[in-house]
Copies of this chain bind each other. A is one copy, B any other.
Amino acid sequence: MRQMHLGLFLLGTGSHVAGWRMPGAVTSFQDIQAIQAMAAQAERGCFDLIFMGDNLYADPGAHPSYTVRLEPLTMLAALAMVTKHIGLGATVATTYSDPWSVARAFASLDHISGGRAAWNAVTGSSAQAGPNFGRLHPNHAERYAIAAEFVEVVRGLWDGWEEDALVADRESGLYVDPARLHKLNHEGAHFSVQGPLNIGRSPQGRPVILQAGGSDAGLDLAARTADVVFAVVQEFEEARTQYAALKSRLPALGRRPEEVAVLPGVMPIVGRTEREALDKLAQLQAFISPTNARQLLQDRLGVDLAGRDMDAPLGDMPLFDGGHGFARALLNKARRDNLTLRDIYNLLGAARGHWVLCGAAEQVADTLQHWFENGAADGFNVMPSHFPGGMEDFVELVVPILQRRGLFRTRYEGTTLRDLLGLRRPARGEG
């Protein structure tokens, strides 16, 4: 029977902008002990993977609780030593790094974790990163052109070493067989990379690739190279449409639909009863500062809101050049439901534009099952409002229901993230 895949999205103190203000909530995302406890919760819940978001600038105005964090690869390498089963997905942007270093670092994480590494390949949607790297942020099309070549080079570098290139034969003295190392000699529009890496083929053959692109260029790249796609959607029909848009591209690329798992992001607010869940959401929402919410809204929509009537229907508003799909998903919803700017910022405050699912545990499980069984999801990227409470509610109350219904694993099997995702280990040079 087909089963769900569950990711735990980690970034900052939780996905609700003010979740850290909840009593007892974790207030620092640079505290490795607190983060280790989050990973332990996810492993107790038999989650497939941790999915760490990232961006490359500090923005204390619009994103205060996301402004402090550990660097993803060091954080996940640390977690590799204190977890046993869960996949470890780190975001690294293709716009501000280089393929040799990225390929090498993820191969290293894959070795360290015994085959649990995943790379969330993003282009980086915000121009705010540019000045930290002395560069102009490229436009959307350019970013995706760079990303496509970057991912191709990384995959090529991961294939540079044959399985048995590290011989280490004490008798003959042959340590590495040079004939089993292969240069890539890539020469493209954006990169020139010789290879090979200075690390052997990793336990998964190639680390898993995650992507989150919602734009046409993003779906295209995901269809060609991603193993897991993180979808930004607000509602069922929209999720079905995006799901189909991605899966329908696969056959022409020689890939089967089940080779790519689509996981919509969801912030579950769970109670023993619906009343209890609604009270939790109200408590969280009461912590939102209007100033922060307005800045976040401007940032997400890419529009100056000065002088805008917060309580008038939204009407037409131009989309900005953002890659995350937040603006699109929000504006679609706003037009459909005739929302005001204030309505949108309440939504944004809750989950930064992601889907909020609030209800009793059974209701939440029902909705997830409905999406899963009706062409909208292969699982979910769970975005707890705060830690440990927001995650605890999901793991203690919702996961057992999914397990009883046979929709989710009750224990880990296999050893690698590919095993958890039902993906085969690729041979060198294979698709």
Contact = CB atoms under 8 A, between A and B. Distances in A.
A245 interface: no
A98 B133 CA distance: 7
Interface in A68-86: 68-71, 73-75, 77-78, 80-82
A198 interface: yes
Interface in A174-216: 175-178, 181, 191-200
Interface string A139-183: 000000000000000000000000000101010010111100100
Per DSSP, are chain A's interface residues mostly helix, strand or loop, or mixed?
loop
A105 B104 CA distance: 15
B21 A198 contact: no
A196 B131 CA distance: 10
Contacts of A112: 32, 70, 74-75, 78
A422 interface: no
A223 interface: no
Interface stretch (A50-58, A324-332, A395-403): A50-58
Contacts of A81: 32, 78, 81-82
A178 B64 CA distance: 9
A415 interface: no
A371 interface: no
B74 A175 contact: no
Contacts of A71: 104-105, 107-108, 199
B132 A100 contact: yes
Nearest to A97: B101
Interface in A285-305: 287, 289, 292
Given A133-B100, A175-B65, A74 B77 contact: yes
A358 interface: no
Given A20-B168, A132-B100, A60 B108 contact: no
B65 A32 contact: no
Nearest to A66: B198
Interface string A79-115: 0111000000000000011101100110111011000
A16 to B, nearest CB: 12
A422 to B, nearest CB: 26
A78 B114 CA distance: 12
A406 interface: no
A18 interface: yes
Nearest to A72: B108
A356 to B, nearest CB: 20
A56 B67 CA distance: 31
Interface in A242-273: none
A340 interface: no
A27 B168 contact: yes
Nearest to A288: B173
A64 B176 contact: yes
A284 to B, nearest CB: 12
Given A109-B74, A176-B68, A198 B131 contact: no
A57 B198 contact: yes
Given A28-B168, A105-B74, A60 B181 contact: yes
24 contacts: A20-B168, A20-B175, A21-B173, A30-B111, A31-B111, A32-B111, A56-B198, A60-B177, A60-B181, A67-B175, A67-B198, A68-B176, A68-B200, A71-B104, A73-B77, A73-B105, A74-B74, A74-B108, A74-B112, A81-B82, A98-B133, A132-B193, A133-B193, A173-B292
